């Protein structure tokens, strides 16, 4: 299983698989403090909602262990570390969930002892990682019941082992289905502008021997229309109490295409991706990223210098376009205000 986020106790460091280099190079980066973890998240060396939550949890532990933070009282340093990590990316709720979870435990148990605080934070980070793997396996178990033998499904962006602590959410459905002995095919959207589908999902599926085919984003519609796709499954970065789903840009048009053509559209996400404090999509802050991500592809300039660019990292899909949400606690269907809190609380 791919381990994109791993802690090394011998060196007291966090090792991250550098996803900006895939699929050409397989290299890791070592983080020794919260600043290096934050930089890795901002620069997308580690990405995917569950994975950045796990990375941030370890970042708190590294920060509390760093002597540079011992010049101020523990509570003040803890708040500063958490604030830095929380500012890295605004949309994925798993990031804030993991930070708050670690912070709460440290405040409750550590007193004013930095050594104890770092150990407590590290233990909680380990627990978050282990729980994420188990949650993804349960998502895969539930989701595999929806995929019939011989079908072809489509996925967008990367919601696999690289985006989680391992196994994956959307790709976890495929892994579980294969473990059940099912035969199926997968179409992989390239996912512009950063090509997470082409660089990451294709890399995962190819090396694990799945029957997968890469397509340009704008090819999906014709494949769906021509009955070459029987299901679509994507991940999520935040899901509201009423079932509005923020996911990688390009998810919403896929959902519209699926609805129009009568193809099931599924979202796979753990309980930690739900934000029950908000109801509607317009309450989700959508991150806008560097405009050069659109002006350049793989380091090659494809648009004029200073050409105005709009580059939101995510879009929001309303619940009426979603067939079901596959969670580690079961499948939510139909999706409306009452069904989500019944399972996610």
Q: Is the peptide bond before 193 cis (omega within 30 degrees of 0)?
A: yes
User: Could you write out the DSSP letters of every residue in 211-222?
Assistant: -EEEE-GGGHHH
Give kind and range of the element (H or E) at residue 128. helix 114-144
Give kind and range of the element (H or E) at residue 64. helix 49-65
Q: Residue 298's closest CA among 26, 21, 4?
A: 21
Angle (CA) 290-291-294 rounded to 5° is 115
Q: Which two tokens stand for residue 135?
A: 């949650």
CA distance 302 to 339: 45
CA distance 304 to 302: 7
Which of 237, 275, 315, 328 is the catalytic position? 237
Three-class SS of residue 288? strand
Catalytic site includes residue 237 = yes
Q: 84 with 34: CB under 8 angstroms? A: yes
List strand residue ranges (DSSP E) for 216-323, in order: 231-234, 238-240, 245-248, 265-268, 274-275, 296-297, 300-301, 314-317
Sign of the CA dihedral 332, 335, 338, 340? positive
Active-site residues, by number, are 237
């Amino acid at each position: 299983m791919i381990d994109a986020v791993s802690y090394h106790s011998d060196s007291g460091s966090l090792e991250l698989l550098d996803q900006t280099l895939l699929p050409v190079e397989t290299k890791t980066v070592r983080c020794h403090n919260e600043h290096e973890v934050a930089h890795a998240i901002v620069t997308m060396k580690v990405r995917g909602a569950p994975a950045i939550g796990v990375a941030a949890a370890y970042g708190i532990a590294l920060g509390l262990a760093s002597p540079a933070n011992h010049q101020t009282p523990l509570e003040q340093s803890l708040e500063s570390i958490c604030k830095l990590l929380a500012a890295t990316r605004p949309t994925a709720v798993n990031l804030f969930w993991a930070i708050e979870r670690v912070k709460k435990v440290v405040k409750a148990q550590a007193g004013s002892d930095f050594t104890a605080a770092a150990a407590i934070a590290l233990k909680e980070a380990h627990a978050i990682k282990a729980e994420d793997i188990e949650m993804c396996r349960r998502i895969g178990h539930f989701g595999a019941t929806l995929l019939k033998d011989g079908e072809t499904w489509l996925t967008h962006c990367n919601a696999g082992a690289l985006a989680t602590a391992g196994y994956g959410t959307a790709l976890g459905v495929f892994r579980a289905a294969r473990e059940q002995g099912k035969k199926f095919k997968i179409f992989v959207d390239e996912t512009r502008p950063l090509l997470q589908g082409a660089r990451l999902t294709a890399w995962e599926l190819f090396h694990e021997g799945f029957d997968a085919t890469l397509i340009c984003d704008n090819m999906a519609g014709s494949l769906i229309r021509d009955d070459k796709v029987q299901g679509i499954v994507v991940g999520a970065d935040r899901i509201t109490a009423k079932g509005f789903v923020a996911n990688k840009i390009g998810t919403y048009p896929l959902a519209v295409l699926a609805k129009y053509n009568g193809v099931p559209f599924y979202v796979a996400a753990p309980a930690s991706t739900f934000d029950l404090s908000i109801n509607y999509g317009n309450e989700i802050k959508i991150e806008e990223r560097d405009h050069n991500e659109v002006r350049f592809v793989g380091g090659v300039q494809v648009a004029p210098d200073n050409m105005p660019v709009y580059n939101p990292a995510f879009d929001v899909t309303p619940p009426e376009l979603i067939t079901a949400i596959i969670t580690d606690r079961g499948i939510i269907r139909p999706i409306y205000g009452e069904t989500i809190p019944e399972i996610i609380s």
